[in-house]
A and B are shown apart, each in its own frame.
Chain A
Amino acid sequence: MTTVNLKVKRYDPETKESRYQEYSIDVDENAALLDAIIAVREYQDPTLAVRCSCRSAICGSCGMRVNGHARLACKTKLAEIAPNGETVTVEPMGNMKPIKDLVTDMTAFWDKVKQIQPWLRAQQPPPDHEHIAKPDAMMDLAGTMNCIMCGCCVSDCASLEVDQNFIGPAALAKAYRFVGDPRETEQARDDRLKELSKYGGVWDCTHCFECVQVCPKDVAPMDRILDLRRTAMEAGYQDNYGAKHSNSFAKSVKNSGWLNEARVAVESFGVDDVSAQLKMLPTGVRALLRGKMPPLLHHKRPGSEHVKRIFQEMEND
């Protein structure tokens, strides 16, 4: 047996106030965090609320923040996170309202999953026999199909923290599961990509790797979002700031070997987007006054012809 020290953030729905409460409890040395929390509830404090079910990292019920990052409590070994009896801070998941203590309201989470229409829109009427899908294509989707909808990625998403309009990593990974499915019709795939290229969609992901880091099932939602960006651009959805930035960035590196910051800053909005350019103007003026303005005459890196060649060869392959 070993003694575990927990510092739990508790939320009282009646007073709508949060506070931290500390517990010490003896558990088996191989115990998971969830075992310790359940032991606290069973033997010390029956008012402590926690949501859990399978205790095997399958149901996705026990997502919570552990020492500041989202994890499944049942998959978190205490011997790994507190080998020397360190106090473990446990809080409800972020980007969701608490219902009580460690139980959060996942209504917004499910609304976003519904928003991407999480069902296959295949050819209608269905073929006489089964749909034929190549194994490679389905293997590409296997990762996203591992998602157990626990909400850990949503909890720690930096974009959602400042804008609840963002569809978010879980729902976007789910969207890729259908965009990448060879049984979807071309029209359905196009409709999805068009929607996902709008405000709140794939281009609002800030590329911070939080969701990749915390996902307990290796779904790597951010990587799926990047797959969606690429697929959307290939499908022609390029009239947005994200695609414009990407195209300008690539053009700059291809032609000079490195980044032409001044030009990319302008082209990311489009030269004709006067309103956006005006918003960036004060930043440019301040940089100029501090001697930080990137040179307007951008020189090529020595050997940049090889960079251009690599671009061209890979584009042609």
Chain B
Amino acid sequence: MRYAYYPGCVAQGGAPELFQAMKLVGERLGFSLEHLKEAACTGAGVLQERDPELGDALNARTFAMAERRGLPIMTICSTCQGVMSQANHRLTKDANYREFINQYLKPEGLEYQGDVEIKHFMWVLVEDYGLDRLKEQVKRPLTGVALAPFYGCYVLRPTSQLGYDEHPERGTYLEQIITALGGVAVDFEGKSRCCGFPILTMNRDNSLKMAGKHLLDAKGQGADVMVTPCPLCHLNLDGQQPEAEKILKTQINLPVIHLPQMVGLALGLEPRAVGLNRHITSARRFAAKVPA
């Protein structure tokens, strides 16, 4: 279980609790994570809309670093996963395009040959580590806790570029992990919809309405907590939750946690150790509900 580790910008910026939780969970599960500290931002779709080739060059550079180590990439960000998967799709299907992009990597002594697999931690847990093995590691099952899965667009769409032909169940992994950890997965309409974060600075009201709608939807279905593999979704669903409440003129008060935090709790890590104290909407009540 050795990976070139790509945590993404937000886990090293506005969501430090995610980075912190993944470090501890990785140690518990016996992962060897080699942090690609020289890797650049994926572009998050923003650079790609300005210049698709620029975005692909930055990502090819990251892939070449992993390829040189002979390792697959693991990320903990749905957005990074989606953007890297799309870039890899273009770079692997067309050798001429890859050669064109590689000319920009040459001065650094890098070349991407098209042989790197990129996997979100959520996919790694199910496909590489295995849910049966994960169940064996559970020290504190999430019995009786209702968890609402919220995926983030970039690990769901477009399926043609995210390995769904080979792994058609990737759109249900969060529920499978929740169940493996002993929790109850809450089904709600918004689980595969957009959190609204990409337009937070362009159309704040629309962005907050989207976040609030899904939070209320999950809460209405009985969720104690929402769990997401995407730190950008987390920025909106948790970080902006008080603002969404103002826009919707209602109280939501639904804690939102990161996937590694949920796994860490079930593995027996203390709530504070996985950073549950760092959320804007308090996760204290949820943490207390997890059987000791």
Residues on A close to B: CB < 8 A?
68, 158-159, 161-163, 166, 199, 203-210, 212-213, 226, 229-230, 233, 240-242, 244-246, 249-250, 253, 257-259, 261, 265, 268-269, 276, 279, 282-283, 286-287, 290-295, 301-304, 306-307, 309-311, 313-314
Chain B interface residue number, banded = 35 or more
CB distance from A260 to the nearest CB of B (A): 8
How many angstroms between the C-alpha atoms of A121 and B9 in the bound complex?
A: 44
Q: In this complex, which of B47, B53, B199 has the most chain A Cβ atoms within 10 angstroms of its Cβ?
A: B199
CB distance from A287 to the nearest CB of B (A): 7
Q: List 30 A-B contacts (CB under 8 A).
A: A161-B210, A162-B196, A199-B203, A203-B202, A206-B196, A206-B199, A206-B210, A207-B194, A208-B193, A212-B158, A213-B158, A213-B159, A230-B49, A250-B50, A253-B47, A253-B58, A259-B9, A261-B13, A265-B201, A268-B201, A283-B239, A283-B240, A286-B280, A287-B14, A291-B278, A294-B13, A307-B40, A307-B58, A314-B51, A314-B104
Contact B54 A310 (CB under 8 A): yes
With A206-B198, A314-B53, A314-B57 as given contacts, are A163 and B206 in contact (CB-CB < 8 Å)?
yes
Asked whether B166 is an interface residue with its Cβ less than 8 Å from the other chain, the reply is no
CB distance from B74 to the nearest CB of A (A): 18
Contact B54 A258 (CB under 8 A): no
Whose C-beta in chain A lies nearest to the C-beta of B12? A258
Question: Which 7 interchain pairs have the tightest Cβ spacing?
Answer: A209-B157, A208-B194, A303-B38, A268-B201, A259-B9, A294-B13, A226-B49
Contact B14 A292 (CB under 8 A): yes
Chain B residues, CB < 8 A from A213: 157-159
Q: A158-B196, A203-B202, A259-B10 are in contact. List 11 more A-B contacts (CB 8 A).
A: A158-B194, A159-B199, A161-B213, A162-B209, A163-B205, A230-B49, A249-B44, A249-B47, A253-B41, A287-B280, A314-B51
How many angstroms between the C-alpha atoms of A161 and B206 in the bound complex?
A: 9
Partner among A246, A269, A283 whose Cβ is within 8 Å of the Cβ of B46: A246
Chain A residues, CB < 8 A from B156: 209
Whose C-beta in chain A lies nearest to the C-beta of B152? A208
Chain B residues, CB < 8 A from A301: 37-40
Contact B40 A207 (CB under 8 A): no
Contact B278 A292 (CB under 8 A): yes
Q: Scan B180-203; emit 1 where CB is below 8 A from any A CB, else 0.
A: 000000000100011010110111
Contact B50 A246 (CB under 8 A): yes
CB distance from B248 to the nearest CB of A (A): 10
Q: Which parts of B26-62 form the interface with A (CB within 8 Å)? A: 37-41, 43-51, 53-54, 57-58, 61
How many angstroms between the C-alpha atoms of A257 and B58 in the bound complex?
A: 9
With A162-B210, A206-B196 as given contacts, are A233 and B50 in contact (CB-CB < 8 Å)?
yes
Residues on B close to A: CB < 8 A?
9-10, 12-17, 37-41, 43-51, 53-54, 57-58, 61, 104-105, 107-108, 153-154, 156-159, 189, 193-194, 196, 198-199, 201-207, 209-210, 213, 239-240, 242-243, 277-280
Chain B residues, CB < 8 A from A309: 107
How many angstroms between the C-alpha atoms of A314 and B53 in the bound complex?
A: 8
Chain B residues, CB < 8 A from A210: 153, 157, 193-194
CB distance from A167 to the nearest CB of B (A): 13
Partner among A276, A282, A287, A303 whose Cβ is within 8 Å of the Cβ of B243: A282
Contact A257 B41 (CB under 8 A): yes
Contact B279 A290 (CB under 8 A): yes
CB distance from B159 to the nearest CB of A (A): 7
With A204-B199, A213-B157, A245-B202 as given contacts, are A306 and B108 in contact (CB-CB < 8 Å)?
yes
Contact A310 B210 (CB under 8 A): no
How many angstroms between the C-alpha atoms of A163 and B16 in the bound complex?
A: 33
Chain B residues, CB < 8 A from A253: 40-41, 43, 47, 58
**Secondary structure at chain A's binding surface: helix, strand, loop or mixed?**
helix
Chain B residues, CB < 8 A from A290: 277-280
Q: In this complex, which of A158, A199, A204, A249 has the most chain B Cβ atoms within 10 angstroms of its Cβ?
A: A158
Chain B residues, CB < 8 A from A162: 196, 206, 209-210, 213
Chain A residues, CB < 8 A from B41: 253, 257-259
How many angstroms between the C-alpha atoms of A250 and B279 in the bound complex?
A: 28
Q: In this complex, which of A213, A242, A265, A310 has the most chain B Cβ atoms within 10 angstroms of its Cβ?
A: A310
How many angstroms between the C-alpha atoms of A125 and B108 in the bound complex?
A: 55
Contact B16 A279 (CB under 8 A): no
CB distance from B218 to the nearest CB of A (A): 16
Partner among B50, B61, B203, B280 whose Cβ is within 8 Å of the Cβ of A203: B203
Contact B13 A259 (CB under 8 A): yes
How many angstroms between the C-alpha atoms of A204 and B206 in the bound complex?
A: 8
With A291-B278, A292-B16 as given contacts, are A159 and B48 in contact (CB-CB < 8 Å)?
no
CB distance from B256 to the nearest CB of A (A): 13
Partner among A207, A229, A230, A261 whose Cβ is within 8 Å of the Cβ of B9: A261
How many angstroms between the C-alpha atoms of A159 and B242 in the bound complex?
A: 21
How many angstroms between the C-alpha atoms of A163 and B104 in the bound complex?
A: 42
CB distance from A263 to the nearest CB of B (A): 11
Whose C-beta in chain B lies nearest to the C-beta of A244? B201
Contact B201 A207 (CB under 8 A): no
CB distance from B79 to the nearest CB of A (A): 10
Chain A residues, CB < 8 A from B105: 310
With A283-B239, A306-B61 as given contacts, are A292 and B17 in contact (CB-CB < 8 Å)?
yes
